[in-house]
Amino acid sequence: MKNVAIKTKILLIGLSSLILLGVILAIISVKYSKDVLMQESFDRLQTVKDIKAHQLEVFFQERIADIKVLAKSENIKNIINDLTETHNELSVKSTDNFPVTNEMVKDETKPHEDFFQSYMNDYGYYDIFVICAQHGHVMYSAAKESDYGANLSNGSLKDSALADAWKKAKELKRPVYVDMEPYAPSNGAPAMFLATPVYIDGEIKSVLVFQISDKSINDIMKFREGFGESEETYLVGADNLMRSDSFLDPKNHTLIASFSNPDKGSVDTEATKEALEGKSGAKIIIDYNNNPVLSVYSPVKIGEDFKWAIMAEIDEAEVLLTPNEIRNVIALASILLIILIGIALFTFVNSMVVKPLNVFQNGLLSFFKYLNKETEDTQELIVDRKDEIGLMS
């Protein structure tokens, strides 16, 4: 630096200081905006997750209330009495299917059909079953799929979720949920059941079962007003399979696709593991699409029987879009500002420092030439300043 001109040194020092200041301010600004936006995003996800978790818990509690009321109604008692009487008259064996094509069964069922069809449609259930408590005969089905008339104690459906619901309702003597699993009569789609014992004269005479429609669950989870482009909420079961449809991956991570192809449709992330262990939290994780996401999660209770993981997530890249834009704007503004200040600094240094020094240098050289008798005249120094350069002159 000894051989570098003063003008250049001053410019380098000034510009370096400006660049350093700009970098520091940019880092502070971007970090602050990033921290604020990350916290705001986590807070919003927490609110969304809490609202949807509450809606789900209310939904499932309301279904329990529905089945309790229906189980005590005269409508259900009447159809049970009518079909039980027919069951006995036809001497249906414990190993037989229930003869739903028999004219006596049809005649006893017909007067009740309008009520159950209306109830199923009005309340949004996929199906309603009335099952013989003793033998597991499906004596009534509103949807009339292949399970209508089935024998749940020893038939092809004895290991199905419907059979499990029938058994647990009798055993626990309360409304009981059975988690989703593929159900052959519904074209192999995942089915979820809610069952309760029906008491007549103090005895369990039948088991009433609702097949819960996944549409009702998806309607809650798919509501996206105010969501970001990559923001979504979804449910995961203990088997790591979807319990609602994904917004971001409708090919592999819908409810049906997840059960159809678990290798591609499962979700086994750090957040889902913790939620299924009963923990709640908020952190950045790698999601099922291998993207960094902000994830807020917790377990959601389904009646008294099991829990799902409820997830609210948004891509980290979307959250950081604004801080990155701020960084780019600051960088561009800093470059323009440095150029402008550099020009101003160059002009100032040149007029206030370099030119007076050049005048002083020329006067000093003229004086030495006079002393050495190289010239008879000396250059007069005109001093109109009282700074260091003026005092030297």
CA distances from 274 to 232, 281, 305, 378, 391 (A): 19, 8, 19, 90, 77
Closest CA to 304 of 129, 73, 131, 61: 61
pLDDT at 20: 75
Closest CA to 317 of 341, 292, 300: 292
* Rounded distance between C-alpha atoms, residue 27 and residue 29, angstroms: 6
CATH number of 32-59+226-319: 3.30.450
Region 110-116: mean pLDDT is 96
Boundaries of every domain in the chain: 32-59+226-319, 72-212, 322-392
3-state secondary structure of 239: coil
pLDDT at 217: 95
Q: What are the tens digits of pLDDT across the range 160-205?
A: 999 999 999 999 999 999 999 999 999 999 999 999 999 999 999 9
* Rounded distance between C-alpha atoms, residue 253 and residue 258, angstroms: 5
Query: How does residue 359 score in pLDDT terms, banded at 50, 70 and 90?
Result: low
Q: What are the tens digits of pLDDT across the range 232-248?
A: 999 999 999 999 999 99
pLDDT at 336: 77
One fold for both 32-59+226-319 and 72-212?
yes
Q: What are the tens digits of pLDDT across the range 290-331?
A: 999 999 999 999 999 999 999 999 999 888 876 566 666 676
Instruction: Return the CATH number of 72-212, one of 3.30.450.20, 3.40.630.30, 3.60.40.10, 3.30.479.10.
Output: 3.30.450.20
pLDDT at 340: 77
pLDDT at 38: 86
> 257 near 218, Cβ under 8 Å?
no
Using a 10 angstrom Cβ sphere, with 0-12 exposed, 13-18 middle and 19 or more buried, the burial of residue 340 is: exposed
pLDDT at 210 over 90: yes
pLDDT at 146 over 80: yes
Q: What are the tens digits of pLDDT across the range 63-109?
A: 999 999 999 999 999 999 999 999 999 998 989 999 999 999 999 99
